[in-house]
Chain A
Amino acid sequence: MSELAHAPRAERPRWLLELIAAWGFAQRNFFLTKRYFLWEVVWLAYATVSAMSIGFIGVDVDRGGVDGARLTTFLLIGSILWGYLSMIFDLLSETVSWERWEGTIEYTFMSPASRATQLLGTSIYAIAYGVARTALIFGIVSLFFDMDLSNANYFSALVILVLCSISLVGLGMVAAVMPLLSPEKGQQVSSIFTAVLLLVSGVYYSVSVLPGWMQAIAKFSPITYALEGMRAALLDGATLNETWPSIWPLLIMGAILVPGGLLIFRAGERYAKRTGLLKRSG
């Protein structure tokens, strides 16, 4: 046999192979970020500026006798957390459309790496990248604003952050299947979905100001609970116990969305292989 046939991977257990592949997906996304570095800078600036432009609303209101620092902090939490969560959702939901566009999808799908591994690797990168970026934005923004974080309970905030990241990963997985089934329309559907999340989840206002039917939709958005919990933790110093009303819905959603997303994605893969949809176009 050839010298190449004696690869060490032959003896590796399955879980290790999948772990290496998951790392491959994360690393590939890192390479892409590096390659598009200038764009990264542009997006970072854009996200920072848009958070600031929202923050100034709070400063403006301050002159009317309202607690401006609290409102500013409320708004900035909304803007920054939304930026983080919608980015995780986008990165995951674009898993397939990106590879379709590059033309690598068939090579990824014919490799022994499983779909769960692909989504895991993508999530690891999305979360690491998102946390780094969000910390940067938060740092810059806090230079400009007088934020009300004196009571903040950072431990509760961290727990909420972890839980809502997981829920959004699950939601992104569900959305990722659409470009698999419909090369053209899939990405459009997830853009509309993002817009609805932004509207109902109370990013810049309390959900309670929404019309009843929108409030009903808000109950199904993990972002609603993420924002509620995060604001309670950072503004009012809520303990883990006190944020429980936000934590349990996030736990349940994560527990349903992640395995559900995986199942749907696998079913989508099977369907695409039966109908020949993996091919780039027609």
Chain B
Amino acid sequence: MPLTTIGPRALEIRGVEKSFKKRRQEPVRALRGIDLTIDKGEVVGILGPNGSGKSTLVRVISTLITPDAGTVDVFGIDALHHPKTVQKMMNRVSVEASFFKKLSARENLLYGSKLYGLTSAEASPRITEILEGIGFRMKRAGEPMENLSRGMQQKIALARALLTSPMLLLLDEPTTGLDPRSKKDVQAVIWDIRRRHDASILLCTHDMGEAEELCDRIGIMVDGELIAIDTADGLKRKYQSGPELPTLEDVFMAATGTTLEEASMEEEEKELVTA
């Protein structure tokens, strides 16, 4: 991780606020005064329970949601005023794979890369290369996406993002809901991206182990607020009470007063009540 970077940071967010109005209800404050930076080549994780605002943050960065207040700069460019320039520099993988289900992996990837200005001739060899790299058997490249496993779909979503050579990669719970094996597979692909492509990454997750293993710094997000952000060791030292360093679970507990599972359960119950 570069401590001093030349030029602008990969991501610089200042004072971002977002509320959603709901019919006949209090508005939901999904993001409250978020400040966050990611250096070039850095991987920053956001740990937070369901409904804490992680996806909203990712959507604000990817220009899908306009914040009520605050600034978002991607490689020094104001994302709110120059969305086009910023859109070219990033891509995203979310919890749902989000493909045309009847189209094949190859067709979906050709489409995805054309949106970013790559012709079929340019994209084709790279599609083959990237798909082979993630262990996809090319003889399935013509099969509809819906026939592939969730884990494989998620890896293809990573391939789609890689194809457009993003300088900033937004990963919003890429492994949530996968079986343990596929989860390891997808994490291995992310690890590989981190090692080879030198992209700057924002990784939102529920998974403590994933955050600790893949991220240079980890932020803890609760109710739209980023209450702490540091290296895993830094967080542990900050919340250390006894002679031994606590685990990340303990840190989360100390910082939020609850475990990640409990906080997620509560939020799910809230959603059920309001739904």
For B112, give the chain A residue with the smallest CB separation.
A107
The contact sample of 11 A-B pairs, CB cut-off 8 A, is A4-B162, A4-B165, A4-B197, A6-B165, A20-B119, A21-B114, A35-B103, A106-B59, A110-B63, A110-B92, A282-B275
With a CB–CB cut-off of 8 A, which chain A residues contact B191? none
With a CB–CB cut-off of 8 A, which chain B residues contact A112? 84, 87-88, 115-117
Residue pair A107, B116 in contact (C-beta under 8 Å): no
With a CB–CB cut-off of 8 A, which chain B residues contact A106? 59, 62, 64, 92, 94, 98
Q: Knowing A4-B197, A5-B165, A24-B114 are in contact, say whether A102-B66 is a contact too (CB < 8 A).
A: no
With a CB–CB cut-off of 8 A, which chain B residues contact A114? 84
B239 within 8 A of A: no
Residue pair B103, A31 in contact (C-beta under 8 Å): yes
Q: List residues 78-131 of chain B with CB under 8 A from any CB of chain A.
A: 84, 87-88, 92, 94, 96, 98-103, 107, 110-120, 122, 126
Which of B20, B102, B107, B115 is in CB contact (< 8 Å) with A275? Answer: B20
For A270, give the chain B residue with the smallest CB separation.
B66
Which of A7, A9, A12, A273 is in CB contact (< 8 Å) with B63? Answer: A273
B265 within 8 A of A: no
Q: How many contacts between A and B, using CB within 8 angstroms?
A: 123
With a CB–CB cut-off of 8 A, which chain A residues contact B33? none
Extra inter-chain contacts (14) besides given A12-B117, A23-B114, CB under 8 Å:
A6-B165, A7-B122, A17-B117, A21-B116, A27-B111, A31-B111, A103-B99, A104-B98, A107-B112, A108-B115, A110-B63, A110-B92, A111-B112, A274-B65
A interface, CB within 8 angstroms of B: 1-2, 4-9, 12, 16-17, 20-21, 23-25, 27-28, 31-32, 35-36, 102-104, 106-114, 270, 273-276, 278-279, 282
A22 to B12, CA, bound (A): 32
Q: Knowing A5-B165, A32-B103, A107-B98 are in contact, say whether A24-B111 is a contact too (CB < 8 A).
A: yes
Which 6 pairs of residues, A with B, have the shortest CB-CB distance?
A24-B114, A17-B117, A111-B115, A9-B117, A2-B197, A112-B87
With a CB–CB cut-off of 8 A, which chain B residues contact A12? 117
With a CB–CB cut-off of 8 A, which chain B residues contact A279? 59
With a CB–CB cut-off of 8 A, which chain B residues contact A6? 165
- Least CB distance from B18 to A in Å reads 8
For A14, give the chain B residue with the smallest CB separation.
B84
A268 to B258, CA, bound (A): 41
B144 within 8 A of A: yes
Residue pair B66, A274 in contact (C-beta under 8 Å): yes
Residue pair A111, B21 in contact (C-beta under 8 Å): no
For A121, give the chain B residue with the smallest CB separation.
B114
A6 to B126, CA, bound (A): 13
Q: Knowing A27-B110, A112-B87 are in contact, say whether A21-B115 is a contact too (CB < 8 A).
A: yes
Residue pair A35, B144 in contact (C-beta under 8 Å): yes
Residue pair A8, B122 in contact (C-beta under 8 Å): yes
With a CB–CB cut-off of 8 A, which chain A residues contact B102? 32, 35-36
